[in-house]
Amino acid sequence: MADVRNTQQPQPVRLAEYTPPAYVVDTVDLHFELGEEWTSVHARLAVRANPDRAEPGALFLNGREMELLEVAVDGRPWPETDYELNEESLTLHGVPEHFTLEITTSIRPQENTALEGLYKSSGTFCTQCEPEGFRRITYFPDRSDVMARYTTTIVADAERYPVLLSNGNRIGAGTLPGGRHWVQWEDPHPKPSYLFALVAGDLARVSDAFTTLSGREVALHIYVEHGNEDKVDHAMRSLKAAMAWDETAYGRECDLDVYQVVAVEDFNMGAMENKGLNIFNTSAILAKPETATDADFQRIEAIIGHEYFHNWSGNRVTLRDWFQLSLKEGFTVFREQQFAGDRYSAPVQRIEDVRRLRTAQFPEDDGPTAHPVRPDSYIEISNFYTPTVYEKGAEVIRMMYNLLGAEDFRRGTDLYFQRHDGQAVTTEEFARALEDASERDLSQFRLWYTQAGTPRIHVDGDYDPEAGTYTLHMRQEIPETPGQRQKEPMHIPIAVGLLDGDGNGLAPRLTGEGERAETTRMLELREAEQSFTFSGIPEEPVPSLLRSFSAPVRLEFGYRDEDLAFLLANDEDLFNRWEAGQELARRALFRAMTAYRSGAEIELEGTLVDAFGALLRGGTGDKALVAEALTQPDESYLADLMDWPVDPEAIHHARRSIRVRLAQALRDDFLYNYRAHQADGEYSADPEAIARRRLKNLSLAYLVAGGDEAGIEAAREQFRQATNMTDRLGALRPMVAEDVAGTGGALESFYEQWKDEAEVVDKWFAIQASSPVYGTLDRIKALLDHPAFNHKNPNKVRAVLGAFARGNPYRFHAADGTAYAFFADQVLHMDGINPQMAAALARGFSRFRRYDEERQRLMREQLERIRREPQLSRDTFEIVTKSLG
């Protein structure tokens, strides 16, 4: 079955051209006959002209990759002369005001490798309808502002597919001749088509229940492949925690009788919030200590929370159109981050969120695919599930939280949910509800939705000892982005503290204000240039700026190294302690790069060693924070910080030398920490245990990097003896990174031990693909030939090709361009299988202009070669043409 390909140039869809639907659908009755070669879908819709539209005219239905068998209106076949059918739609002319529409289609889920619509994942039928998958199941007005009540009947072979699921409540079941059976589901909540779901397979079920605040009993079922029942405990516990959290944090109760979650192997994303029937990538749900790391446990909790929170932010209140995607995603990511911060540690969570924003979103915002949080045009909406819509979108919500304060923010979200329950709305309605509840004016703030680009804020400090005042002069600049030349100044919350010489926080008050108690002041920058003067300042303070990263900006202040060490040791804002440490490390890395490029010896200055040494010797007591502080910024983040041209070799060598030198200078401290934080007793995923393992394994990694014999022996030993995956990988990773003797054998035995656990095999692939030693081009090719690799499984593609492009810039950007040519072949190959995955890979080339002229030429050549492909998907076409600019 061929995809719809760009025989003509694909045309963009524009927000400015939005019009309400001509017809609405009140009910949808679906009848599926699932078969081994094809599946038939009969849909009966109650359609009525939209009263909001004067002249409804023709009925337009989306549809692709299907065979149309029958169309009937009010029980009579609709004459072919009165409809138009093409590759992407079916249009009916002259339909009545309201009527029953019946459509029968035939589809081939077995051949669907794009993983949109109905497809098969290792023997299980499942669906993915967001954003535009439903139109691959039946002809339908497949847009989020058409909300209907669904009833679904599934008929299938009883032995192969004993479990038949859809949204809502099970209202009937029975057996049929020929070994077939049927189940019927009814979803009482009106929903857009993108939240429809169906699953049919032979699955095991793990059940529990949750009682809501008002006493509703919700049955909880998690479905997995037989044999995986022992890997759902953590997800189930996380789900109940998320349900309880949403009640207290947002006053949101679950509205369902049954909440079902299904794990599937082949999935383009992490998970999907289908109403009452979430579908999860196995990697985002299955965990037990032997096979999953602490990071996996935390990720699973976050994603389970994320999908659950969508039940209100996304499902009860949904989107008018796809330009509003961040309305649900930004808000839900923010809710997920708050949840995770409450469950573990708020500052550590913040550090991880910011790290993700900086490594994924900042580069996007600074490149050819930059777009606003609310984009105003797209060629393929699947390309807009981006760090900007998700992560920057969450930052936009967080800034409103910072501006309003917790109480008014909550009043605002209460009003938003109450006012728009059951509606399909825009980001405007969200901002309006917050304004109405808080009586704040967010008009200038709305620019965060429409202006792309990461603002740069330059700050200078000025102390006047005579007057006892301290002034911060700020200047904001928003860089040019594609299609956006001129930018207006933004409304930016900047949390500031001032430290006295002993490291104590002052209680800063602006000139003219009365005494204050708080040591953090939320400044509101609104002008292109603006100054803030604080009074009653007895001595020149050290400012702590942008506390807890109160806005997604790049802030510059001329700190001396000593100031950074001082902040690292003293700031009450734990995020900014980490930030000061990162800036010190960044400076050391950039000095090392300069040295490397001029052929000089790379030296490590005392300030960084002393500051990190003090941390390791227990200044803070917060193990997780110490581990975060000592974690090096990764190579791709350093590339983003580097002035043109990015030099992947200098980055790699400088980063490595700094690691080795730190390891040697602080060897005793690392050894002490490694020994002091050994495991005792059974595995637990509580914050204290996670922090302990983190610091232990970080210490081990440094010991190995420093070439310390005792450390290397400890790693080998830990690799063999570990009883959980965190410790096993905590040993294997540094062994691979430093290629210590015995690593090859360790990799082999690792595979032998875990070859039946798909999630673990993915880790095994990714460790090698992202290693400069084990991820050379020849070895990457060998990994693709490995029997466990499969181009049709997105997790495998991410583990090898994704990890290579993103996690191994040193090899990916090999100066001779051989990796580029190989990678372009892979993009083209993937494009014939799964356009979404191909487009994601193609982004590996999108920042080619950041590199030297020769690499630019080589990458451009590959981009042009991909673009010339006549059958290219819309997904890949958009990324490639935008990259070429």
Q: Which residues are catalytic?
A: 307
Q: Is 298 in the site for ligand PHE (CB under 6 A)?
A: no
Q: Which is nearer to Zn ion, 330 or 347 (CB)?
A: 330
Q: Shortest Cβ distance from residue 314 to ligand PHE (Å)?
A: 7
Output the smallest distance, CB 273 to ligand PHE, in A: 5
Record the tokens describing residue 144, joined without a space: 């989020």
Cβ burial, residue 465 (10 Å; 0-12/13-18/19+): exposed
Question: Whose CA is closest to 193, among 266, 138, 153, 269?
Answer: 138
Binding mask of the shown chain, residues 204 to 243, with x at each position contacting Zn ion by CB under 5 A? ----------------------------------------
Task: Give the bridge partners for 28, in sequence order.
Answer: 45, 150
Closest separation in Å from C-beta 259 to ligand PHE? 15
Q: Within a 13 Å sphere around the CA of 346, how many CA atoms are in the beta-carbon half?
A: 10
Find the binder of ligand PHE among 64, 191, 299, 306 (CB under 6 A).
306
- In this structure, what token pair is assigned to residue 486? 């001129």
What is the CA angle 301-305-308, rounded to 5? Answer: 145
Q: Which stretch binds ligand PHE (CB under 6 A): 16-24, 91-99, 268-276, 868-876?
A: 268-276
Greatest extent of the chain over all pairs of C-alpha atoms, in Å: 95
Name beta bridge partners: 319.
425
Stretch that binds ligand PHE, among 99-107, 196-204, 269-277, 509-517 (CB under 6 A): 269-277
Question: By CB under 6 A, what part of segment 399-458 binds ligand PHE?
Answer: none
Compute the least distance from the CB of residue 836 to ligand PHE, in Å. 8
Residues 325-364 that bind ligand PHE (CB under 6 A): 329
CA distances from 718 to 62, 552, 734, 831 (A): 56, 40, 12, 42
Q: Say how many CA atoms lie within 13 Å of 45 toward its Cβ.
A: 27
In the set 13, 15, 269, 641, which binds ligand PHE (CB under 6 A)? 269
**C-alpha–C-alpha distance, residues 204 and 598, integer Å:** 61
With CA atoms as reference, report the closest residue to 89 among 73, 76, 71, 77: 71
Q: Which contacts qualify for 579-582: CB closer than 8 Å, 24 or more apart?
A: 579/546, 579/549, 581/611, 581/612, 581/615, 581/629, 581/630, 582/629, 582/633
Please report which helix (H) or strand (E) contains residue 420, including its range.
helix 406-420
Task: Write out the binding residues for Zn ion, residues 317-346 only, by CB under 5 A.
Answer: 329, 332
Q: Which of ligand PHE, Zn ion, none binds 271 (CB below 5-8 Å, type-dependent)?
A: ligand PHE
Residue of 6, 127, 128, 544 that binds ligand PHE (CB under 6 A): 128
What is each CA distance from 278 to 36, 137, 145, 196, 275, in whole angstroms?
24, 18, 21, 10, 7
**In the block, residue with structure tokens 């094809």:** 38
Out of Zn ion, ligand PHE, none, what residue 307 binds, judged by CB under 5 to 8 A for its kind, is: ligand PHE
276: left (phi over 0), alpha (psi -120 to 50) or beta: left
Going 568 to 573 to 579 to 583, the CA torsion angle's sign is negative
Show Cβ contacts of residue 262 under 8 Å, excluding neighbours closer than 6 positions.
124, 126, 165, 199, 203, 222, 223, 224, 277, 278, 279, 280
> For ligand PHE, which is the closer residue by CB, 163 or 272?
272
CB-CB contact of 385 with 325 (8 Å): yes
Q: Which is nearer to ligand PHE, 102 or 130 (CB)?
A: 130
Phi (first) and psi of residue 320, to 5 degrees: -70, -40
The C-alpha atoms of residue 803 and residue 841 are separated, in whole angstroms, by 10
Residue 192 C-beta: closest distance to Zn ion, Å: 14
The first and second tokens of residue 83, run together, are 């409809």
Q: How far is the CB of 394 from Zn ion (least distance, A)?
A: 10
> Smallest gap, in angstroms, from Cβ of residue 71 to ligand PHE?
29
Applying CB under 6 A, does 319 fall inside the site for ligand PHE?
no
Our finding on whether 3 is near ligand PHE (CB under 6 A) is no
- Interacting residue with ligand PHE among 29, 246, 307, 831 (CB under 6 A): 307
**Nearest approach, Cβ of residue 334 and Zn ion (Å):** 11
Residues between 704 and 743 with contacts to ligand PHE, criterion CB under 6 A: none
Nearer to Zn ion, 333 or 370 (CB): 333
Q: For ligand PHE, which residue of 271, 698, 701, 714 counts as binding (CB under 6 A)? A: 271
| Distance from C-alpha of 851 to C-alpha of 428, rounded to nearest angstrom | 39
Q: At its nearest, how many Å lie between ligand PHE and the CB of residue 271?
A: 6
Nearest to Zn ion of 325, 814 (CB atom): 325
Residue nearest to ligand PHE according to CB distances in the complex: 269
Contact present, 712 and 700 (Cβ < 8 Å):
no
Binding to ligand PHE (CB under 6 A): which residues in 383-402?
385
We find the least distance from the C-beta atom of residue 281 to ligand PHE, in angstroms, to be: 9
Query: 175 is written with which tokens?
Result: 């057996």
| Interaction partner, residue 697 (Zn ion, ligand PHE, none; CB < 5-8 Å by kind) | none
Q: From the list 156, 164, 272, 650, which residue makes contact with ligand PHE (rule: CB under 6 A)? A: 272
Contact 337, 313 (CB under 8 A): no
Nearer to ligand PHE by C-beta: 269 or 773? 269
Q: Which listed range, 266-274, 407-415, 416-424, 565-573, lies at the site for ligand PHE (CB under 6 A)?
A: 266-274
Q: Work out how close the CB of 268 gets to ligand PHE at its nearest, in angstroms, rounded to a whole number.
A: 6
Q: How far is the CB of 333 from ligand PHE (least distance, A)?
A: 8
Question: What residues between 513 and 532 interact with Zn ion by CB under 5 A?
Answer: none
Of 132, 255, 265, 273, which one interacts with ligand PHE (CB under 6 A)? 273
| Window 278-317: contact mask with Zn ion (x via CB under 5 A) | ----------------------------------------
Residue span binding ligand PHE (CB under 6 A) among the ranges 263-271, 469-477, 760-768, 826-834: 263-271
385 binds, among Zn ion, ligand PHE, none (CB under 5 to 8 A by kind): ligand PHE
Exposure b/e, 39-67, CB count within 10 A at least 16 = b: bbbbbbbbbebeeeeeebeebbbbbbbbe
Q: Which does 696 bind (CB under 5 to 8 A by kind): ligand PHE, Zn ion, none?
A: none
Is there a contact between 487 and 474 (Cβ–Cβ < 8 Å)?
no
Which span sits near ligand PHE by CB under 6 A: 214-222, 271-279, 432-440, 860-868?
271-279
Residue 519 has a CB neighbour count (10 Å cut-off) of 18
**Three-state SS at 853:** helix
Helices 818-831/835-842 angle, 10° precision: 160
**Partner from ligand PHE, Zn ion, none binding residue 336, C-beta < 5-8 Å depending on class:** none
How many residues form the binding site for ligand PHE (CB under 6 A)?
11
Return the range that interacts with ligand PHE (CB under 6 A); candidates 270-278, 539-547, 571-579, 715-723.
270-278
Residues that bind ligand PHE (CB under 6 A): 128, 130, 268-269, 271-273, 306-307, 329, 385
Residues that bind Zn ion (CB under 5 A): 329, 332
